[in-house]
Amino acid sequence: MSVKVKEVTVVNESIYAARFVGCLVLTHDNKILLQQRGHDWVSYPEYLCEFGGHIEPDEKPPQAVIRELHEELGAQAEEKDIISLGAITEAMSNYSELIYCYFWHDKQDTITGCYEGEPKYFNYLDNILSYPKITDGLRWMSDECKKRKLLK
């Protein structure tokens, strides 16, 4: 795993080419939900990854993750329910992109579908980590969720 953890409160966002959010999602019935990118995706084709995307210029990371969860899953996440895992950069992007990482448990069953990529459900983190193509960020988020006892 090739990530560098950044201190969220002092990170200099201006040195990064782009800012993103990523969120590891647990469904209401305790399944880990991820997305499989298609073979024709521009970035990281066929990789298993979390949900998320670009942070808009006028957004804070928590607002961006809520918007992305709504766009990609139809979810109605609330800021109070989203857990910040930290901020990282990945070797996959030559450490040029900043990713704010989150965990969210959809306890209220608000997910209506998967509107980007193919949905993949997992019962255990070990099943994810043995997947042939996963992003560095997803690997780090999985480890962080396990350390914090958010997932098993």
Q: Is residue 30 part of a domain?
A: yes
Full domain range(s) for residue 137: 3-147
Tell me the per-residue pLDDT of 6-60, one tens digit each, with 9 for 90 and over: 999 999 999 999 999 999 999 999 999 999 999 999 889 999 999 999 999 999 9
Q: For the CA atoms of the chain, what is the radius of gyration?
A: 14
Q: Is residue 103 part of a domain?
A: yes
Confidence class for position 146, pLDDT limits 50, 70, 90: very high
- The 3-state DSSP composition of the chain as helix, strand, coil percent (nearest 5) reads 25, 30, 45
When pLDDT is averaged across residues 108-136 and rounded to a whole number, the result is: 94
Cα angle, residue 83 at apex, residues 148 and 112 outer, rounded to 5°: 115
Q: What count of other Cβ atoms lies within 10 Å of the Cβ of residue 93? A: 19
Q: Is the pLDDT of residue 117 over 70?
A: yes
Q: Is the pLDDT of residue 4 over 70?
A: yes
pTM over 0.85: yes
How many domains, the chain?
1
Q: Is residue 107 part of a domain?
A: yes
Q: Is residue 84 part of a domain?
A: yes
pLDDT over 90, % of the chain? 92
Q: Is residue 152 part of a domain?
A: no
Q: Where residue 103 sits, what CATH number does that domain have?
A: 3.90.79.10
